[in-house]
Amino acid sequence: MRLRIIKVGILSFILGFWANNSVAQGIFNSLAGLPPIGQASPVTDPSGYFSAVISPSFFNCTVLPGNVQCTGVLPVFAQLSIQLSEVPTSATVALVSLNTLEQYENLDNFKLLQNSKTVIDQIPAIVQTFVYTELNNVERPVWMQVLNAVQGRKLVAVQIQCRSGTCAEYGAGINQVFSTLHIAPLDKAGMPIKGNLKSQNKGPTLDSVIKGLEF
């Protein structure tokens, strides 16, 4: 009887290890015919304006029409948002990005790392990357990246924020969001054309988007 208890205890330990080890659990799921751990799928705006693949291995999201809010699931802090908003007919992506810069440039120890143009599904966009500190504490640096894309009177803005020095842990998840971001073309009324949330061009690459991630 004692030998049986020891065997059960060892078996429980092994199963417990596998259940709490992501690599081992992924192997176990594959052998058992279960879905891969943290399998990502497209998160689509209910109003149809945008979509992106956001992995549950990195982020837990709340999805509302024109507003996706996500928090990081790793031990280190991260926030992600994708938001749709109205802009004046005279607005351009350059003007919107200038407003973004003016909004944040007064933060403590602000430093602009990147301000570059890109294209998302033939829609002009600008990526801005910067760092700042909380409460002027240099030991609490924050890394932030903003992508603005303007089409007609619609602005799609992606914002990612994390602690500098630990952002790299979210690197694969962040790159996945940007590289799979799709924005639907609009009809004459400014409404998304259904069934067109498919990229005609590749999204920004890891090198062009996640600049300064090591800071």
> What is the CATH code for 38-209?
3.40.1000.10
pLDDT score of 140: 79
Output the pTM of the full model: 0.76
pLDDT at position 81, please? 97
- pLDDT at 10 (0 to 100): 38
The span from the CA of 150 to the CA of 156, in Å, is 7
- pLDDT tens profile 134-181: 877 777 789 999 999 999 999 999 999 998 778 889 999 998 998 899
Cα–Cα nearest to 56, from 45, 69, 72, 44? 72
Which residues, given as ranges, of the chain have pLDDT below 70? 1-40, 196-215
The pLDDT of residue 198: 61
Q: What is the strand order of the sheet 111-120 is part of?
A: 59-64, 67-72, 78-86, 154-163, 141-151, 123-133, 111-120
* Distance in angstroms (rounded) separating the CA atoms of residues 1 and 183: 64
Q: What are the residue boundaries of the structural domains of the chain, listed by start?
A: 1-37, 38-209
